[in-house]
Amino acid sequence: MADKDPQNLRKKPRIERHFMIRYQPQENPTVHNQGVSTIQNISETGCFFYSACHYKIGEKLDVEIRFPLIAEPAKFVAEVKRCIEEDPKIPKYAIGILFIDVDQEKKDAFIKTLDFFLKKRSGNK
C-alpha cells in the first residue's frame, strides 16, 4: 500500500508480522556484527527490523528468516537501504533491507505465507 510520500519507495504491501530473522554481513562476519532480531514488517521485496549493529547503506547481508509454513529458514541476500540510530545511549538501529537474492527453493512458500497474512489482514479467507 504505497502512499504519496516520495520517501516511501515500497513496491509491495507490507505486513506487520514478527518472524525471527538472523543476519550477518557477507564480508568479514564476526561475532560482533551478526545478530538475531524480530521483524517488525515484511513484504516480498524487503523487511524492517531493529539491530544492535550498525550497517552501512549498500552493505550486503546474509539473512535467514523463519516462517511458520516453512520447515527450514528461508535464506536471502539483502542490501541495507536504511540504518538509523534510534537511541544514542544504547546500540539500537532501525534497519531496512531489500531482498536481492532469494532461496529459490523456498520462494514460493515465502510468497504464499505473505499472501496468507495479507488476505487475513484484509478480511479475505
Assign residue 57 the CATH number of its domain: 2.40.10.220
- Is residue 10 in a domain? no
Question: Is residue 116 in some structural domain?
Answer: yes
Residue 76 C-alpha from the chain's centroid: 9
The per-residue pLDDT for 79 is 98
Q: Is residue 103 part of a domain?
A: yes
**What residues contact residue 30 under an 8 Å CB cut-off, 6+ apart?**
none
- What's the CA gap between 7 and 31, in Å, rounded? 33
- Give residue 23's pLDDT: 97
pLDDT (tens digit, 9 = 90+) per residue, 34-86? 899 999 999 999 999 999 999 999 999 999 999 887 888 999 999 999 999 99
Instruction: Provide the residue range defining the domain that includes 103.
Output: 20-122
11 in a structural domain: no
Q: How many domains does the chain have?
A: 1
Which letter does DSSP use for residue 15 in this model?
B
Q: Can you name the residues that pair with 46 across neighbouring β-strands?
A: 98
Asked if residue 15 belongs to a domain, the reply is no
In a domain, 7, yes or no: no
What cell numbers appear for 23 in the block? 543476519
pLDDT exceeds cutoff 60 at 125: no
Q: Is residue 6 part of a domain?
A: no
